[in-house]
Structure 1
């Protein structure tokens, strides 16, 4: 008799739908006898309509969608409150489906509540923004680091914890396993899927972008931590600093309504002209359109305000062979440098971003040929996350 495995991911922004796409696609041909229960946001049906339709025909794949009430209960909650609310949902579905193992696609939220309960099932999860690489210059930063280390120590001691997957960072994996005397931490390479661009899509005609403009793409979940405001501030300064024409293309949504409104207001106040455009498509676009945007832009902007986190955007930029602005001395820089596409910015300010962009294009820098590199694929990602088993 097979196991009953629960995949828990109540969020939909950013990487969430992409990871679910990889896992569900991988499990379509699974013949192990295991049963999989996906607890997911209802918007996943809109994001992956064809895949979900096919998956619903498979007797070993089951989908439970958060109700409007559950989604509203989680919305806007602080980290601690949300952690216990999500844990309550996890326990509810674990009992209902009598699961043997739970895979948490975003462990960061649940890591606070998990140690409070003993459980009959085992747990694995993906850890984003691990703290090992955090800047520890100020006293406040040191206190934050210490708090995160205590939280991690408590999590590692949790009953039933099986694996903690760290994205793209073997150095952090080695540190955590040594620091906490465990083998629970494992490297999980962020997959770079082979996407197909939209047929006959032309980015310039679609957005009415002049042929002479350099297109700077900022895509995904938008917000203050992603340097979104600083990018917008850069517009006026580029007008004076460069003879090139630029189009800043923002594609994505804010998870925080207050930040969304603040950005919208600043966007209305920003002067846009043919030689210096600002365009915002407030949507999470399809994978095919996303592929087209990466292929046809001139530069990708990820001036994120964290040194410890990874991002799937790096992989898409690498596949498209596009230069990408990343914070210097960060995990993002190291990953991008491996692919030869990193353009480091010293600090996340409009001044440094302006200098970074103008210097790059004035010197006509080019990324090295990265066509022969090997990229992590979605099958190896799914296989490891599901416990090392091969579905096919």
Structure 2
């Protein structure tokens, strides 16, 4: 049976909107299997409203990430955060045993995916900021940052468990 885990440790900005669209799609189209939504506790009320009085929602579950885990992950430096985010996602993948996981803010996970432990299931992600294809600011540091991003992306794209990377920036996709 198909079991999809949606993971997002951030719930502000457009993050709640993306989760809402995916949950509404699942409710409307009723695919076989189970949908597990893993995010901050603050999304619980919105989640409950989405499935209230709707049929065929028994295969959709909400799992709250404890606030202490959110604070630990979000309080880290960007390099450390990538590994912490990835390890947190792995924890929920192992606990809920999905057949596939969708990481809603793929950018945060890239270094952790590239250099960290392997996922127990196939994964996909939404890549929001593929800015390496834009003309870089002059100087060594921006150039080096662009090289780092390209190497990391290359490493991530060669991971065996990676199924798809979705990108909302059409000019980055070729």
Contact map agreement 2:44 2:62 (CA 8 A) in 1: no
Mapped pair 1:160 → 2:161: yes
CA root-mean-square deviation:
2.0
Mapped pair 1:6 → 2:5: yes
When you count helix as a share of all residues, which structure comes out higher?
2
Per the alignment, do residues 56 and 78 of structure 1 end up closer, same or farther by CA in structure 2, a change over 3 Å counting? farther
Contact map agreement 2:40 2:67 (CA 8 A) in 1: no
Q: Which residue of 1 aligns with 2:138?
A: 137
Q: Which residue of 1 aligns with 2:63?
A: 64
Contact map agreement 2:3 2:36 (CA 8 A) in 1: yes
Contact map agreement 1:3 1:100 (CA 8 A) in 2: yes
Runs of 5+ consecutive residues of structure 2 not aligned to the other structure? none
Residues 75-94 of structure 1 show CA distances to partners (whole Å, capped at 9, x for unaligned) of 32111221121212211111
Matched ranges for 1:67-216 at <5 A: 67-115=66-114, 116-130=116-130, 131-169=132-170, 171-174=171-174
For normalisation by structure 2, the TM-score amounts to: 0.89
For residues 14 and 127 of structure 1, the distance between their equivalents in structure 2, rounded to whole angstroms, comes to 16
Residues 283-330 of structure 1 show CA distances to partners (whole Å, capped at 9, x for unaligned) of xxxxxxxxxxxxxxxxxxxxxxxxxxxxxxxxxxxxxxxxxxxxxxxx
For residues 125 and 47 of structure 1, the distance between their equivalents in structure 2, rounded to whole angstroms, comes to 23
Q: Which residue of 2 aligns with 1:341?
A: none
For residues 172 and 50 of structure 1, the distance between their equivalents in structure 2, rounded to whole angstroms, comes to 36
Other structure's SS at 2:82 match: helix
Post-superposition offset of 1:138? 1.8
For residues 121 and 106 of structure 2, the distance between their equivalents in structure 1, rounded to whole angstroms, comes to 16
Other structure's SS at 1:112 match: helix
Residues 111-170 of structure 1 show CA distances to partners (whole Å, capped at 9, x for unaligned) of 11112222331110000110211524222111111111111111111121111111031x
Contact map agreement 1:41 1:65 (CA 8 A) in 2: yes
The answer to which structure, 1 or 2, has the higher relative contact order (CA under 8 A, 6+ apart) is: 2
